[in-house]
Structure 1
Amino acid sequence: MTTDFRLPDLGEGLTEAEIVQWLVAPGDTVALNQTLAEVETAKAIVELPSPYDGVVATLHAEAGDTVAVGAPLIAFDIEGETGSAPDADETASAASDAAEPAAQANLVGYGAAPSGGARPARRARRAAGTAAPVIDTAVLEAAPHDALPTGPVETVQGERPRSTPPVRAHAKRLGVDLVLVAAEVGDRPITRADVDAYAERVAPDSPALRPVAVGPVAASAQGERETRIPIRGVRKHTAEAMVQSAFTAPHVTCFHTVDVTATMDLITSLREDRALSAHRIGPLVVIAKAVCLALGRTPGLNSRWDGEAGEIVQHHYVDLGIAAATERGLIVPNIRDAERMSLIALADALSALTETARSGRTSPAELAGGTFSITNIGVFGIDAGTPILPPGQSGILAVGAVRPQPWVHRGELAVRQVMTLSLSFDHRVVDGAEGARFLKDVADILQEPGRAMLMA
């Protein structure tokens, strides 16, 4: 019988998802939990596994289409099946009940998890009865540089190269075929570094391997005066969230410039300690620790406004959001229970969070929640700003660049390492005095890290 599979709720009550790409075609035989497609929600790109063993009959949407939760997505011919297909509520319920997307490879969270080994191979898209050629990477690499493929090879035997959407986009810009990279790296997922290494080794000076101009530059070359970019995915979600926050919570921003020379000296000392060489300890890690300590003394900053219940909800834990700029836009994944972590544990958690975000592997669960956030604008050379609160949070701290500046230190003028902190908070929840105390606590720790020993 033919059974429709409807788009389930992928988490956090999201109402729709965009089809990034299909990984199957009509006529393909698929196995349980084989990846059918990559879909982009308002928060993340996830792989959608099959809930059935069967043959693909129909794709109800094309790549680039936005599909509502509960709408038919793909139809299967399932041998021996009788009865009706599960409805959207049943499918979504199964997805929600079983989902632990941050901890499982099965990101959507329904169906049996794979027992191990490589993912099922996807049947090549080719004409019936025509065998796909096996690619000889040695022959291709021996060819002149301008003979190298400048785009993806359409006819591939077996499974597509394993990589994330940002890596595939990067490879496309460089004109690198991921099939050739996969032949070198083996079964593990291809990383951005793998693509760069391949491009540099094979043809470092080839025009075909240089980044391709996109956006306004490309449009200008074609005589166009403007470029229209669809508002969707992360950009759409970010815009909606920022408008909601800006016009719901009355924002107040206060600033404090602080001498962080002692903190920078501490970081230098920790980095020189061989026992800590495996941990990346930087200013943001120390700031994160200072924020956790300060939130314990000013709980209003770690609260949320619940207008429907007529309550202010104070959190007794800190899920610390770290704003990360990625190729897909700004996302804010969270470090869970950050207040319980040591400085070293925070450093490791921050490194893992950053690596996951840059590779495009951040899951919806890692983006959900958050009780307070930090945004590091200093990495762009910016000193201060007025950050907008993530919805549901009452405070966000913007961290400016560390600069050597003339500073009065112990009664004398000296060149010191100086940073500006910008705190935005919800004035419905946080009074000005409490916001000022929080900012002063963070600044005191950065000015004299030993003060952290005095804070409960």
Structure 2
Amino acid sequence: MGEVREFALPDLGEGLTEATVVRWLVAVGDTVRVDEPVVEVETAKALVEVPCPYAGVVTSHAAEEGAEVAVGAPLVTVAVSAADGTPVGRDPDAAGRATDAAGRAERSGPGPAPEPEHVGGSGNVLVGYGTAQAPGRRPRVAPRPPGAGAGEEPRYGADRGTPAPGAGRAAAGHTVRGANGGAVGPVPVISPLVRRLAREHGLELRGIAGSGPDGLILRADVERALQAARESTAAGTREGAGTTQRPAARREERRIPLRGMRGTAAERLSRSRAEIPDASCWVDADATELLAARREMNAAPAHGRPAAPVSLLALLGRVCTAALARFPELNSTVDTGTREIVVLPEVHLGFAAQTDRGLVVPVVRDAHTLSAEQLTTELARLTEAARAGTLTPAELTGGTFTLNNYGVFGVDGSTPIINHPEAAMLGVGRIARKPWVVDDELAVRSVVQLSLTFDHRVCDGGVAGGFLRHVADCVEHPARLLRTL
């Protein structure tokens, strides 16, 4: 006879003490193998799939989706296999149903590709919106919880549910219906964030036709439905004007927990504002020649073969590493315990990325040793991981200087908060066509505003101004970079 073993949330490293349950990858009653991921949790650093060290049948979940679990607290219980190899506590037909479900998942192939996102801003490539699945990952399949009635909201995420036996085939993107035509199966969505968006706005997912593969509901589908509902409400209000005044719709406040990566960002920003006496300076620069140089780079083949386009963000990153070599005080941190400024030998370049889970700052290690092409590759890889929520804790920590390309939001300037415990952050606004004086004549040029926010403890305005002026000079005259290559 087997025994029921309790699996606690393990130590996830990096000083993390708790995690939030994002979604269960297995349902109660499922059979799991040794080291099979059973739950996806969000820590202060990243999304992590937690594997279970036991093989057997899941008998209980210790927390609901959205709940916080402390390291060492119970996470799941498993009835381990008996001596004859038969899982304990599972009915004879359940194994067959799980096998059939797994077979359907295998035949369905990889999960849907992430919804394409638009990134704006004069050729700048940095951040996107929405959450994509990691390449090659498909939604896990779990049997429908016993006793779930028609119309009941699925407990384990609509992108993982399957119908009860005999309810009919449930391909991805299709809702299973009973004999009376009522919906009894789950509603397939591309991610739990889409479900949360609909729930926060009181939107019924069963009434939405998904535009994804096999009817999968994407974030864009939910946003279109919300826009249509707003327009319908506005039209009804206009029709009622002058006749019977309709009562105003009741508005309810929304509460967003400051947990996980969002909570960590909030703590760092608060600590930065409380501890760092920051100051800012900015300058407008003519980026026409930099854009022309980038076009020439991308038009020429690399070693006789077509080369991947060099991104504008990579060129700006290369400018930053060259400027930090000349003004190393800005690549430092302050040790408050010893009251010392620690000038760091390596440049680990962070860049701000906005995601549905909040602001994250992936870090390019040893950026000062990378070419523009190598920086382009690494920035693209980290940006994609940020969108998918698969960044590791090591990829989110240890930065020494941050590049913030807020121009993708269509704004000219900003004074960002320094990413604690760093000493400076360079902000880049949108590149816009503006009148500019060239050789005493007025011309239309591509102009960008550059801003530097710095810790006034590590340097004075002369050093900060010198750094920013050097960056602007390299933007206006890219050939000056040759001196540092």
Question: What is residue 474 of structure 2 aligned with on the other side?
Answer: 445
Q: CA contact under 8 A between 2:321 and 2:367: conserved in structure 1?
A: yes
Equivalent position to 1:125, from 107, 119, 144: 144
Give 1:396 shift. 0.7
SS in 1 for 2:65: coil
Equivalent position to 1:255, from 282, 292, 308: 282
**Following superposition of structure 1 onto structure 2, how do residues 38-53 of structure 1 map, counting pairs within 5 Å?**
38-53=40-55
Equivalent position to 1:241, from 268, 271, 280: 268
Equivalent position to 2:299, from 258, 264, 272: 272
Q: CA contact under 8 A between 1:175 and 1:209: conserved in structure 2?
A: no
Give 1:394 shift. 0.8
In structure 2, the CA distance between the partners of 1:167 and 1:291, relative to structure 1 (3 Å rule), is farther
Q: Determine the C-alpha separation between the residues in 2 that align with 1:360 and 1:416.
A: 38
Question: What is residue 91 of structure 2 aligned with on the other side?
Answer: none
Question: What is residue 439 of structure 2 aligned with on the other side?
Answer: 410
The CA RMSD over aligned residues, in Å, is 4.0
Q: Which structure 2 residue ranges, 5 or more long, are not aligned?
A: 84-135, 148-162, 234-246
Q: Determine the C-alpha separation between the residues in 2 that align with 1:123 and 1:347.
A: 40
Q: Determine the C-alpha separation between the residues in 1 that align with 2:286 and 2:327.
A: 22
Code of the aligned partner of 1:372: F
SS in 2 for 1:247: helix
- Bigger Rg, structure 1 or 2: 2
Q: CA contact under 8 A between 1:302 and 1:372: conserved in structure 2?
A: yes
The answer to whether structure 1 residue 37 and structure 2 residue 25 are counterparts is no
In structure 2, the CA distance between the partners of 1:179 and 1:385, relative to structure 1 (3 Å rule), is closer
Deviations 1:335-375 (A, max 9, x none): 11111111111111112222222222223221121111111
Question: What is residue 375 of structure 2 aligned with on the other side?
Answer: 346
In structure 2, the CA distance between the partners of 1:391 and 1:312, relative to structure 1 (3 Å rule), is same
**Following superposition of structure 1 onto structure 2, how do residues 51-130 of structure 1 map, counting pairs within 5 Å?**
51-79=53-81, 123-127=142-146
Equivalent position to 1:24, from 15, 23, 26: 26
**Following superposition of structure 1 onto structure 2, how do residues 32-431 of structure 1 map, counting pairs within 5 Å?**
32-79=34-81, 123-127=142-146, 131=165, 133=167, 135=169, 137=171, 153-154=185-186, 210-212=224-226, 222-273=249-300, 279-431=308-460
Please report the TM-score for the alignment, with normalisation by the length of structure 1: 0.74
Give 1:430 shift. 2.6
Structure 1 range deviating more: 298-307 or 225-234: 225-234
SS in 2 for 1:55: strand
Please report the TM-score for the alignment, with normalisation by the length of structure 2: 0.70
Deviations 1:372-429 (A, max 9, x none): 1111111112111111111121111110111222222223222221111111111122
Q: Determine the C-alpha separation between the residues in 2 that align with 1:316 and 1:342.
A: 18
Counting matched residue pairs gives 392
Give 1:138 shift. 11
Q: Which structure 1 residue ranges, 5 or more long, are not aligned?
A: 82-116, 185-189, 200-207
Give 1:432 shift. 2.2
Q: Determine the C-alpha separation between the residues in 2 that align with 1:350 and 1:381.
A: 21
Question: What is residue 202 of structure 1 aligned with on the other side?
Answer: none
Q: How many percent of aligned residue pairs carry the same amino acid? A: 40
Deviations 1:270-301 (A, max 9, x none): 33335586523232221111001111111111
SS in 1 for 2:320: helix
Code of the aligned partner of 1:68: A
